Amino acid sequence: MGAERAGRRRRSVRNAAVFGCGGLLLAGCASMPSSGEPEPVDASPNKPAVRVFATPPKPNAAPGEIVDGFLETLTGDDPDFSIARKYLTADAAKTWDPNVSTTILAAGPKTTSSKPEQEREQDQGAQSDSYELEGSRVATLDADSAYRPELEAQPYTESIQLVKEGKKGEKQWRIDELPPGVVLGEPDFRRLYKPVDKYYYADFKGDGRHPQDQPLVADPVYVRGEPDPELTDVVKALLAGPTRWLDPVVGSRFPSGTQLREGTRVLAPDEQKRLQIPLNNKVDNLKQDRCKQMAAQIYFTLKYLATPSGIKEVELLRSDGESPLCVLDSGQAQAVAADPLDRPEFQYFLDEKHQLVQLAKNQSSASAVPGELGEGKQELRSAAVSRDEDWAAGVSGDGRSLIVGELRDGAAAEKTKVLSRADKEKDRLTAPSWDGRGDLWVADQNPGHPKLLWLEKGSAAPVEVGFDQPLGEDGLGRVKAVRVAADGVRIALLVEKDGRTELSVGRIERTTGKDGDPELTVAELRPAAPKMEEVTAMSWGGGSRLLVVGKAVDGVQQMRFVQSDGSLPSDERTLPGLTGVTAVAAAENPELPLLAGSQEDGIVRLGEGEGWKPVDKEGSAPVYPG
């Protein structure tokens, strides 16, 4: 079996980054009324999308109509905000930048006049007016189009100032001062903006790896467009570079300043599904290898986005708009950069003997993995399998020791130098996790010295990982679970503090110390499931998705997908209920079934369009490679 593992090749399939649906066309902006309480459009993914068209201001419109009309245009089909600017004075139209931020409120903003209605009627000759915008802020899109949720909804209050502008006798009310960016209710945001994973190369800070060995990393952003974003806007977002949060650990192969060729309006694949992309002169003299690395970033960012069967070729053009720089097809893309959504060969869990077993997709029963971790006498309470499925690691039954062994017939397993000294079993080692570099991670929950450990190639001496805030009760808390993304630069952690466990995602920064030894730090942890009060289990689910189990705000346990930026996926796939869930596992590739460990049913498996099916009543601790 070891030879079979060494020689096997995997197929990779990338799922759609954006999901489209049919739509209803409306003649006006119906998502936000011009008076009364806001009535946001129901943006449920199970209902047809509502297409809303923005309309310009009517002649002699009153101040309140101008304010409401402007807010309505922000919810409509006005991609360059040209109609929205018609509600502004000439100066405000020049200075207003709708892309600086998007404020997301629980519902559409409520407008309140600063003047009593009686005073307004008596002051017919007024040349200025003002309105207050109020709401409850639940999230923000920053200038990078990155989603930033609020842990708790925050009060939102801003003002809009209006003046009369125009020639004498023809003056019209227009907005002169307004809040920065765009403000929307959450239902309208979910209708208008779609999540897209941009892809950049992991930057391991000059560790000598060939660029082909540097994996692609998903960088989630939101792009405006209904029912789907334009390819042009997605490519522009990619060329703009990674978000500020991810930038320290990734790199783009596009030279600084690369943009679409001036005058490029619409990018669309031809009948052969080839997408031609003209760029500016920053790329004119690049070599083929560099060009194909750039094309791979575009290919994996756009794959399945343009048509149901995807884009087959990407051709980059020089600044004259005609001369080809390079062409990349799907096969070449795989050679340049491995598909971020890999397809493992097996699923894994612990059997009734607490030993590691494997289950192939078409098998109904599991078999012991080769090597001592599957065929020996060592009992485990958790395990992890490397991404190449050649190695495994397990935590001993008492939780004290970390054991590593090769998945090869007759291979021995050895204890590492990781040892927890916590008194209670529940306070010892977490389940381990392998990254795509073949390195191993595990956390020690010891209340006296909680720590996160990293073992290069799974066998080197453990290195304690730093945080930009200290662990412990006076700091972040204790790490209860660890899952490192395949790219090796993002890490998901369950962190417990004050009796509450939350899911956070951080980036892994790597440097070299004065003595030449590697130093690692987890930086800028951010909430990934802010709408859940308690998270008990989690797994990466491909790209920027995570599968989580926990209690929602209403106290009901649920299993759902979330985005690593704290937002919800556009499909919001509803998962069948399952009681007593203790662990979950999702593959990077969403076509593969989900696994779960249940107190009542043992190991169960969920395929597309199916219910949970039993696998092993006595099994526990399910995992995919990683």
Full DSSP string of 65-99? HHHHHHHHHTTSS-TT-TTGGGGB-HHHHHH--TT
Q: Which one has a higher pLDDT value, 46 or 540?
A: 540
- Helix, strand, coil percentages for the chain (3-state, nearest 5): 15, 40, 45
pLDDT recorded at residue 308: 55
Alpha helices in 226-379 (DSSP H): 231-239, 288-302, 330-336, 372-375
Any bridge partners for residue 602, and if so which?
A: 598
Distance from first CA to last CA of the chain, Å, rounded?
Answer: 20
Which SS3 state, helix, strand or coil, does residue 334 take? helix
Out of 395-404, 551-560, 592-601, least confident range: 551-560
How would you class 47 by CB atoms within 10 Å of its CB: exposed for 0-12, middle for 13-18, buried for 19 or more? exposed
* 41-88 pLDDT per residue, tens: 333 333 445 667 889 999 999 999 999 999 999 999 888 899 999 999
How would you class 268 by CB atoms within 10 Å of its CB: exposed for 0-12, middle for 13-18, buried for 19 or more? exposed
Q: Please answer whether residues 444 and 428 qualify as being in contact, where contact means their C-beta atoms are separated by less than 8 angstroms.
A: yes
* CA distance linking residue 103 with residue 3, whole number of Å: 55
Any bridge partners for residue 134, and if so which?
A: 110, 157
Phi, psi for residue 583 in degrees, rounded to 5: -160, 150
Strand bridging mode 500-512 / 490-497:
antiparallel
* CA distance linking residue 489 with residue 595, whole number of Å: 25
Q: Please answer whether residues 480 and 471 qualify as being in contact, where contact means their C-beta atoms are separated by less than 8 angstroms.
A: no
Q: Which two tokens stand for residue 87?
A: 């509600």
Q: Which two tokens stand for residue 541?
A: 């689910």
Out of 18-22, 179-183, 259-263, 437-441, least confident range: 18-22
* 563-616 pLDDT per residue, tens: 999 998 876 667 888 889 999 999 999 889 999 999 999 999 998 888 999 999
Q: Whole-prediction pTM value?
A: 0.88
* CA distance linking residue 527 with residue 262, whole number of Å: 39
DSSP 8-state assignment for residue 427: G
Query: Residue 298: which residues within 8 A CB-CB, separation 6 or more?
Result: 235, 238, 275, 277, 314, 316
How would you class 216 by CB atoms within 10 Å of its CB: exposed for 0-12, middle for 13-18, buried for 19 or more? buried
Would the CA dihedral through 201, 202, 206, 211 be positive or negative?
negative
Q: How many CB atoms lie within 10 A of CB 489?
A: 27
CA angle 359, 364, 365 (to 5 degrees): 60
pLDDT recorded at residue 567: 94
pLDDT recorded at residue 364: 79
Which SS3 state, helix, strand or coil, does residue 425 take? helix
CA dihedral 201, 544, 482, 366 (to 10 degrees): -100
Q: Which one has a higher pLDDT value, 622 or 610?
A: 622
Which of 109-118, 307-316, 435-444, 569-578 is predicted most confidently?
435-444
Average pLDDT over residues 205-228: 76
Q: Which two tokens stand for residue 170?
A: 């023809």
Q: Which one has a higher pLDDT value, 530 or 228?
A: 530
DSSP 8-state assignment for residue 57: P
Out of 128-132, 191-195, 225-229, 304-308, least confident range: 304-308
* 195-216 pLDDT per residue, tens: 999 999 999 864 544 444 689 9
Closest CA to 250 of 226, 277, 218, 223: 218
Banded pLDDT at 470 (limits 50, 70, 90): confident
Which of 115-129, 375-389, 564-578 is predicted most confidently?
375-389
pLDDT recorded at residue 472: 82
Any bridge partners for residue 157, and if so which?
A: 134
Query: Which domains occur in the chain, in start order?
Result: 23-192 (no CATH), 202-336 (no CATH), 363-623 (2.120.10.30)
Q: Which of left, alpha, beta for 54 (phi over 0: left; psi -120 to 50: alpha)?
A: beta
Which SS3 state, helix, strand or coil, does residue 527 take? strand
Banded pLDDT at 120 (limits 50, 70, 90): low
